[in-house]
Amino acid sequence: MDFTLLLFFLLAATAVATALGLLLSRNAVYAALFLVLNFATVAVFYLLLGAPFVAMTQVTVYAGAIMVLFLFVIMLLGAEKLPKGEALPWQRPLAIGAAVILFAEAVYLLVQRVRLTAALPDPGTWENSMESLRQMAGMLFTDYLLPFEVTSLLLLVAMIGAIVLTKGERAVRS
């Protein structure tokens, strides 16, 4: 347990540091790479919580596929140097407000910690993960079928939108 606690604090420090690095770096490529590190750290958090499937999916989908596309776009457009000054002047006050609210929530949860830890599942069950994988698949296709299908529809709409946009451009050119 002590080892797990130590690991947790180490990971938490890494997560915070990489998130700060993402916000503060003036080079978009570095910012994207910090985000990749952050996703990887979160994946290890999932492992500690006894959800290896979610951890691996986090790495494959977010750290792997999605962030690579981010990098791809940044490099293709040559947009790695961020411009000085603010593009959206109302963004900073809004972000500060949201951060204050989130921080208050975190403090509230920390105070309520005793009640919260009681509801967490036992992380010792992670060894039997094939069974948990089956359970998760079952839940996804029975109890959570509607959200699942709605999400897939959303992704489909986004995909069709992207195809329509690129097709239109080609028609104009020729």
Partner 1 sequence: MTLANVIEWLVKGLVWVLILLGGFAYLTYYERRALARIQVRVGPNRAGPWGLLQPIADAIKLIFKEEFMPARADKLLFTLAPIITLTPALVITAVVPFGPESASFQLFGRTITWYIADLNVGVLYIMSIASIAVYGIVLAGWSSNNKYATLGGLRSTAQMLSYELALGLSFIAVIVLANSTRLLDIVEAQKGMWFAVLQPVGFVIFLIATLAEVNRAPFDMPEAEQELAAGYHSEYGGMKFALLFMAEYDKMIAICTIAASLFLGGYREPWFLRDTVLGVDQTPWLGPLYVFIKVFILLFGMIWVRATWPRIRYDRLMAFGWKILLPLSLALVFLTSIGMLLAEQVNPLYQWGIPLASLAAGFIAILGMYQTLRRKEYARA
User: Do residues 66 and 74 touch, judged by C-beta distance below 8 A?
Assistant: no
Nearer Cβ to partner 1, position 45 or 53? Answer: 53
- In angstroms, rounded to a whole number, what is the distance separating the alpha carbons of residues 10 and 1? 14
How many helices and strands (H and E) does the chain possess?
Answer: 8, 0
Q: What angle do CA 39, 41, 44 make, to 5 degrees?
A: 115
Nearer Cβ to partner 1, position 14 or 129? Answer: 129
Chain residues binding partner 1 by CB under 8 A are 3, 29, 33, 36, 52-53, 56-57, 59-60, 63-65, 68-69, 71-72, 75-76, 127-130, 133
Nearer Cβ to partner 1, position 127 or 149? Answer: 127
Structure tokens belonging to residue 82 = 């961020």
Nearer Cβ to partner 1, position 15 or 126? Answer: 126
- In angstroms, rounded to a whole number, what is the distance separating the alpha carbons of residues 95 and 98? 5
Nearer Cβ to partner 1, position 60 or 91? Answer: 60
- In angstroms, rounded to a whole number, what is the distance separating the alpha carbons of residues 110 and 104? 10
CA distances from 166 to 66, 78, 159, 172 (A): 19, 20, 11, 10
The minimum distance between CB 119 and partner 1, in angstroms, equals 25
